[in-house]
Structure 1
Amino acid sequence: MVLAGLLLLLLTLLAGAHLLWGRWKLRNLHLPPLVPGFLHLLQPNLPIHLLSLTQKLGPVYRLRLGLQEVVVLNSKRTIEEAMIRKWVDFAGRPQIPSYKLVSQRCQDISLGDYSLLWKAHKKLTRSALLLGTRSSMEPWVEQLTQEFCERMRVQAGAPVTIQKEFSLLTCSIICFLTFGDKEDTLVHAFHDCVQDLMKTWDHWSIQILDMVPFLRLFPNPGLWRLKKAIENRDHMVEKQLRRHKESMMAGQWRDMTDYMLQGVGRQRVEEGPGQLLEGHVHMSVVDLFIGGTETTASTLSWAVAFLLHHPEIQRRLQEELDRELGPGASCSRVTYKDRARLPLLNATIAEVLRLRPVVPLALPHRTIRPSSIFGYDIPEGMVVIPNLQGAHLDETVWEQPHEFRPDRFLEPGANTSALAFGCGARVCLGESLARLELFVVLLRLLQAFTLLPPPGGALPSLQPDPYCGVNLKVQPFQVRLQPRGVEAGACESASAQ
């Protein structure tokens, strides 16, 4: 007991010395103002709390998250200055303990630090997403969405927990694009794996390790659970990679995994900034599942929640769909490239993304060389957090920013440059797929059903889960899906065939 107390005292002294040394090194810089305290992560609705601090400190300031000092950017102008105009300076990622663990020591696009090898890894994955599935992506999103609507029709009139249904739908889309397989057993296995991993990773016992790294020297059941979740994840991904290597044919690809495995093979014999390995393909698959399931499912859930609160917008959307596609749920289609035919649907998606960006604080950046923002010095190695939700609620940019008003995007000269997917070199890799899914799923859902509250008329809360970790999650709710026309079922079956 005495030994443990002495060890804790020694570690505390070392941490204090580290902080003092850090302050000494920065003594001659013109740094952003520092917010008092170090328990900001305990604040509910953290993005809104960070935005409120701008009233006294301006859009750029520093604060402490445990032992880590960070700079927070709270406006569109400051975020774009850092992430677009000075993107090279701010392209790094902090190498915190949980990132290293989850990303196989950062052989990862989302969490990996900036390097030429990282750029090659990102290029390969983007090519797989945009080229390897270009001809099949939209038809398969359409078919899987139609199958989803058929399943919902079976439950017509009964309260449905729509978040879980959206989560399974987005997971099935990622499964098919990545592995060429939408079999229910595989989809549910990967869905449960992602859910377990994210829940474990978001737990306070892991978050505190990132803020106070020396605590990893002490027993931590949460860390053991996270390692087990990662082990399960890696086992499932490796099984799929083996299956692909055993059956793929050179020069042909059935899905993204085939494309990336063959891309790694080509890269080995070409000169480049290092060597891409099978481990990079492994982590690309992980990124696609973590970044492409719950994020899109959460945005779809927020859209349904807002439409339940605004039935007049839902009515106008259905009128727009009926004008363009025929009454009820006809067999007509509007392809994504022709989405301008549905301006209100596009505006509604834009407004949901503005109000509820699913990763409201993005992922933290790190400066890889000294830089500046708005006249403040930002030293090398500083962690920088872009408050995307705060930027979307900036009263100097958006009129009545907290109100759900899709029509703001229909006005002449409307500001459409929200930051829901980030910007610059670290913009979300799956943005194009996510936007396609949001368009197709909401189109087909509103074409086939009217969204109604459950019996008793209880509407979902529009306040996020106050302690939701990385993702901005809607609080659990149910919705009734009332079919709009009997002809819908026949049309959907025909489309699926």
Structure 2
Amino acid sequence: MVLPGLWLLLLLLLLLLLVAGARWLRGRRKVSNLRLPPLAPGFLHFLQPNLPIHLLGLSRKLGPIYRIRMGLQDVVVLNSNSAIKEALIKKWADFAGRPPIPYEKLELDLSLGDYSSTWRTHKKLSRSALMLGMRGSMEPLVEQLTQEFCEHMRAQAGTPVDIHKEFSLLTCGIICCLTFGDKDVTLVHTVHSCVQDLMQAWSHWSVQILDIMPFLRFLPNPGLWKLKRFQEHRDHIVRQQLKLHKDSLVAGQWNDMIDYMLQGMEQLREDKGEGQLHEGHVHMSVVDLFIGGTETTATTLSWAVAFLLHHPEIQKRLQEELDLKLGPSDSGSQILYKNRAQLPLLTATIAEVLRLRPAVPLALPHRTTRASSISGYDVPKDTIIIPNIQGANLDETVWELPSQFWPDRFLEPGRSPRSLSFGCGARVCLGEPLAQLELFVILARLLQAFTLLPPADGALPSLKPQSYAGVNLLIHPFRVRLQPRRPAPRDQGQSP
């Protein structure tokens, strides 16, 4: 028996094909004189379970730049380092736009909002809050919360733990402290639960399909309704924090990013310059930090643990490097992030994890703000561009043995430890400096204090990502045993 919903979906797909055919005929007449990238056959590419790798596979037949059909329009996919850098760095102004999102008003959103003078001002304020407002407190805060995390893990020593959940709570706590100035456990768990709900709802097929068939937003959609309820809950939490901060704000002083941005917003109003901001921009900056700064970093940390479980010889070398530079975990020694070159293997390992498993493997879609070109191909205005970051990170013309986990590649002279995993150009990830700091400090302290071991049954985590849905490249759930490398200090009531 065929369910009524399935019949409706089949009818909608038929309608989509008819409308797409009509648009294709009209569009063909308009672009007949242009040299467009080759078109990949088929309509169902976005249903592939490992989409970034599927798109990379198409490049072997069509070249690094080609078009695929997404609903009623063609999108251009970039699969190589050179193509992505040409578009997003060399010709950044042509490719800095964002496609419209049909199911939420995101003109105030830094990640998804379109390029404009107001967007530039908004990004400048948010980046200033992160890099200048929190400059003196960011690293000590990450260090402190990571030490508390290690103490929490020591209390569970020998017991297999869901390490991704623990990392997720840690990164959420860091963002709460930086943004709200508060690490209250109840608040952290409330925000963490909200972020998890949003990510799950966003990745549901009933929401994802709206990117391909936006006209479906006019039909009843329980998945979209659920997403909107979670967004309302998210906004309620942020509004409460904004009110608390406005009530306690002291001119010229700030304790966290909200304080800094509220005062920066007022200063912009007084200056009456281009791109005026209001409280809604501060609100969405907070949302961006939580959505983009918790799960992505936690997932990258989880991938790092998974790779080290598969490669204990690299874990041993990392611990030897840490012991040489930092000594025992209870020695109180600290290596500043600015001196990270003193831990070259750790820096290289982080770079290799980011290369192989970028948290956002297809980046976020771009849109051309005017007619342009890439590698000799014409790209009309308002074309959607998908940078296949994971594909570029596996580019055989750039990387030797690209699919192999080999941190030593970044120890070679002249090899930069930075891949495209955080994007590049005008739309480079705002939180990259914080994420890099967290990865460095958390992995250093974790490996200094513990040896990572599989559960008693010896089961190793899968290195194959979950089926691609939504934005993030997710890891399959796994557990790890954290074996303390040294006994707990005396002040914790245990023998040395």
TM-score (norm 2): 0.95
Q: Does 1:394 align with 2:395?
A: yes
Question: How far apart are the structure 2 equivalents of 1:133 and 1:491?
Answer: 32
Going from structure 1 to structure 2, the CA distance change for 1:230 and 1:361 (only over 3 Å counts) comes to same
Counterpart in the other structure of 1:36: 41
1:51 to 47, 56, 65: 56
Counterparts of residues 406-421 of structure 1 (less than 5 Å): 406-421=407-422
**How far apart, CA to CA, are the structure 1 residues paired with 2:213 and 2:383?**
16
The residue that corresponds to 1:310 in the other structure is: 311
Quick one: distance in 2 between partners of 1:196 and 1:414?
A: 40
Partner of 1:75: 80
**1:65 lines up with 2:66 in the alignment:** no
Q: CA deviation at 1:454?
A: 0.4
CA contact (8 A) 1:150 1:492 kept: no
**Mapped partners of 1:17, 1:217: distance in 2:** 21
Q: How does 1:283-432 map to 2 (within 5 A)?
A: 283-327=284-328, 329-432=330-433
Could you tell me whether the CA contact under 8 Å between 1:460 and 1:475 is conserved in 2? yes
1:22 aligns with 2:27: yes
Within 1, Cα distance between the matches of 2:139 and 2:480? Answer: 27
Q: Given the superposition, is the C-alpha separation of residues 18 and 110 from structure 1 closer, same or farther in structure 2, using an over 3 Å criterion? A: same
State the aligned residue count. 486
Aligned to 2:93, the other structure's residue is in SS state coil
Corresponding residue of 2:220 = 219
Partner SS, residue 407 of structure 1? helix
Three-state SS of the structure 1 residue aligned to 2:113 is coil
Deviates more, 1:180-189 or 1:261-270: 261-270
1:162 matched to 2:139? The reply is no
The aligned amino acid for 1:322 is D
Task: Give the secondary-structure state (helix, strand or coil) at the position aligned to 1:192.
Answer: helix
CA displacement at 1:68 relative to structure 2? 2.9
Corresponding residue of 1:125: 126
Alpha-carbon distance, 1:351 to partner = 0.4
Q: Quote the Cα distance in structure 1 between the aligned partners of 2:96 and 2:397.
A: 27
Deviates more, 1:413-422 or 1:189-198: 413-422
**TM-score w.r.t. length of structure 1:** 0.95
Q: Structure 1 residues 490, 320: CA separation in 2 closer, same or farther (over 3 Å shift)?
A: farther
| Other-structure match for 2:273 | 272
Deviation at 1:319, TM superposition (A): 0.4
CA distance in 1, matches of 2:42, 2:489: 57
1:96 deviates by 2.5
Does structure 2 retain, via aligned residues, the 8 Å contact 1:448–1:488? no
Determine the C-alpha separation between the residues in 2 that align with 1:241 and 1:489: 43
- In 2, the alpha carbon distance for the partners of 1:490 and 1:396 equals 54
**Distance in 2 separating the partners of 1:360 and 1:11:** 27
Query: 1:4-23 maps to which residues of 2 (within 5 A)?
Result: 13-23=18-28
Q: Distance in 1 between matches of 2:371 and 2:308?
A: 46
Return the offset for 1:415: 4.5
User: CA separation in 1, counterparts of 2:81 and 2:15?
Assistant: 43
1:28 CA displacement: 1.3
Letter of the 1:56 counterpart:
K
Corresponding residue to 1:93 among 85, 98, 104: 98
Deviations 1:149-184 (A, max 9, x none): 011011000000000000000000000000000001
Q: Would you say the 8 A contact 2:308–2:314 is kept in 1?
A: yes
The AA in structure 1 aligned to 2:32 is: R
Larger CA deviation: 471-480 vs 210-219: 210-219
**Structure 1 residue 20: deviation in Å?**
2.8
- Unaligned ranges ≥5, structure 2: none
Alignment RMSD = 1.9
Question: How far apart are the structure 1 equivalents of 2:386 and 2:276?
Answer: 30
In structure 2, relative to structure 1, the CA distance for the partners of 1:489 and 1:369 (3 Å cut) is farther
Identity of aligned residues (%): 70
Q: Which residue in the other structure is 1:145 paired with?
A: 146
The answer on 1:178 being equivalent to 2:179 is: yes
Aligned partner of residue 32 in structure 2, secondary structure: coil
> Shift of the alpha carbon at 1:476?
0.5
What is the alpha-carbon distance in structure 1 between the residues aligned to residue 405 and residue 20 of structure 2? 45
Question: What do residues 281-332 of structure 1 show as CA deviations (whole Å, max 9, x unaligned)?
Answer: 0000000000100000000000000000000000000000111112454211
Other-structure match for 1:476: 477
> What letter is aligned with 1:71?
V
Aligned to 2:256: 255
Instruction: Quote the Cα distance in structure 2 between the aligned partners of 1:368 and 1:444.
Output: 45
1: distance between equivalents of 2:201 and 2:62?
34
Residues in 2 aligned to 1:15 and 1:391: alpha-carbon distance in whole angstroms: 30
Is 1:330–1:488's contact at 8 Å kept on the other side of the alignment?
A: no
Deviations 1:331-361 (A, max 9, x none): 1111101111111000100100010011000
Q: 1:135, 1:11 → 2: CA distance?
A: 54
Tell me the SS of whatever aligns to 2:92.
Answer: coil
Q: Cα offset for 1:116?
A: 0.7
Separation (CA, whole Å) in 1 of partners of 2:76 and 2:431? 26
Q: Which residue identity is paired with 2:49? A: P
Does structure 2 conserve the Cα–Cα contact (< 8 Å) formed by 1:331 and 1:491?
no
Conserved 8 A contact 2:43-2:68: yes
| CA displacement 1:383-420 (0-9 Å, x = unmatched) | 00111110111111111011100111111222434111
- Within 2, Cα distance between the matches of 1:311 and 1:12? 52
Offset at residue 491 of structure 1 (A)? 9.4
